[in-house]
């Protein structure tokens, strides 16, 4: 399974990337033949896209209730995201069915256990990937978002 993590120079602790990174490498050392890690540090947009392509799982932000822009972009490509996706986030969107993001708590054991579960249940990746794409189409389609902005603007 191919994992991708994008570190931001001097911002790892703000986003919890240091804990995600630690758990990911613990997984790699316990299962080296089953894991491949692509890692970047403060890449350009093109570099980020290049390294993200072909990955199965992307590790996003840990200290967040919702996915960041890189996570949403990864999801649009069918990449499974590990990061923040709390119940409040889904409630805000009114989403009761699609839950493609692997929500992790800021504890290394929780992160590690969820990564290891993905590795042990590779058959789930295909469904999570399809759910990620459907989720993006449903909640982040540019036409839908533009219409919501116009509707809001016209009310005021």
Render pLDDT for 1-24 as a digit per residue (tens, 0 to 9). 999 999 876 655 657 788 999 999
Does 30 have pLDDT greater than 90? yes
Confidence (pLDDT) at 13: 60
Mean pLDDT to the nearest integer, 26-33: 97
The rounded mean pLDDT for the chain is 92
pLDDT in tens, 55-101: 999 999 988 889 988 999 999 999 999 999 999 999 999 999 999 99
Using a pLDDT cut of 90, give the percent of the chain over it: 72
Closest CA to 36 of 56, 17, 50, 12: 56
**Distance of alpha carbon 82 from alpha carbon 26, whole angstroms:** 16
Higher pLDDT pick, 156 / 15? 156
Task: At 104, list the tokens.
Answer: 């992790």
In this prediction, residue 107 has a pLDDT band, given cuts at 50, 70 and 90, of confident
The whole domain housing 142 covers 2-155
Confidence (pLDDT) at 14: 58
HSE value, Cβ hemisphere, 13 Å, CA-based, for 64: 22
- Number of domains comprising the chain: 1
CATH number for the domain that contains residue 92 = 3.40.50.2000
Q: Rounded to an integer, what is the distance from CA 29 to the centroid of its chain?
A: 22
Inter-axis angle of helices 69-76 and 45-52, to 10 degrees? 40
Closest CA to 77 of 27, 140, 123: 140
């Amino acid at each position: 399974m191919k994992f991708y993590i994008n570190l931001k120079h001097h911002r790892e602790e703000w986003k919890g990337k240091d804990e995600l990174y630690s758990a990911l490498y613990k997984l790699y050392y316990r299962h080296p033949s089953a894991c491949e890690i692509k890692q970047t540090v403060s890449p350009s947009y093109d570099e980020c896209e290049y390294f993200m392509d072909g990955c199965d799982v992307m590790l996003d932000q840990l200290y967040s209730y919702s996915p960041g822009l890189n996570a949403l972009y990864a999801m649009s490509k069918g990449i499974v995201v590990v990061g923040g996706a709390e119940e409040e986030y889904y409630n805000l969107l009114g989403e009761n069915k699609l839950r493609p993001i692997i929500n992790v708590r800021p504890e290394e054991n929780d992160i590690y256990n969820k990564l290891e579960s993905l590795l042990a249940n590779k058959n789930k990746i295909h469904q999570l990937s399809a759910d990620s794409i459907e989720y993006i189409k449903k909640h982040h389609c540019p036409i839908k978002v533009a219409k919501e902005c116009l509707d809001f603007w016209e009310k005021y």
